Amino acid sequence: MGAATLPTGSPSRRPLWFALGAVGVLLVVVLIVVLVVWRGGAGTPGGNAAEDTRPTPTTSAEPLAVASATPTPSAPAGPHPTTCESIYSPGMLSTFSQTRTLNPEWATDPALPAQVGTTDAQLTTVIEGAEHLTCVWGAEEGGSGSGLTTNVVFVTAAQSEAVHQRLNALGQNCYEEAGGIRCVIETAKDADGYAGESHFLRDGIWLATHYVSTGPDGYTLDMVSTIWAGA
């Protein structure tokens, strides 16, 4: 004998629907309460809605550093030669090339000491620690007892002044020339030849030259007139 089928809408299902309806009403009431509480702190009436609902930080952040509109460069603005050929006039290049080679291969040999335009250890440290261009005039085959090295060193104003003071302390003869400071020293010529240094400081550039038994007249001033051409 089959089981009896309850008709649709039978009272046996009414308690279930009643319970579900009660739960639904309860959820609606809870939702309304939550919305009322949440809206209570949303902002003041009449304020801008976008601003009133904007989240605010719970802690204060450190202020951002504002970059200067005109940042101070590491070195004063001035010429910036990048090749040795560009620091000499065509005449000086022609004259010196008759007896010497510009930057012979041995001059860049990492096994040899770096070529610098001074014999002073403190000044050498400044040269090696700064951006610089090294220009060596020497014999093609190697050391010959004569030659010349110039470093074009890019320095800050403070470094330039420190170099000037050091050159004075070393007993070099310093004076104003061609819009900058020139310092020179030279040994007396003897059977072994002679040696000397010539330095020029201007506009964030230091021309440091050390020479041994060589160097045409006007060498430093030729660099100055070429680097600062038209200045």
Q: Which residues contact 204 (CB under 8 A, 6 or more apart)?
A: 75, 76, 77, 78, 154, 155, 156, 157, 160
By the 8 A CB rule, do 215 and 136 touch? Answer: no
Q: Quick check: pTM over 0.75?
A: no
Q: Return the CATH number of the domain spanning residue range 84-227.
A: 3.40.1000
By the 8 A CB rule, do 196 and 173 touch? Answer: no
Going by pLDDT thresholds of 50, 70 and 90, the confidence category of residue 75 is: low
Average pLDDT over residues 215-228: 94
Going by pLDDT thresholds of 50, 70 and 90, the confidence category of residue 195 is: very high
Domain ranges across the chain: 84-227
Please say if the pLDDT value at position 187 is more than 70: yes
Going by pLDDT thresholds of 50, 70 and 90, the confidence category of residue 53 is: very low
- Per the model's pLDDT, the better-predicted residue between 46 and 76 turns out to be 76
pLDDT, tens digit (0-9, with 9 covering 90-100), for 114-141? 899 999 999 999 999 999 999 999 999 8
pLDDT, tens digit (0-9, with 9 covering 90-100), for 29-38? 444 443 343 3
Residue 141: name the closest of 107, 167, 176, 110 by CA. 107
Among 103-117, 122-136, 154-168, the range scoring the smallest mean pLDDT is 103-117
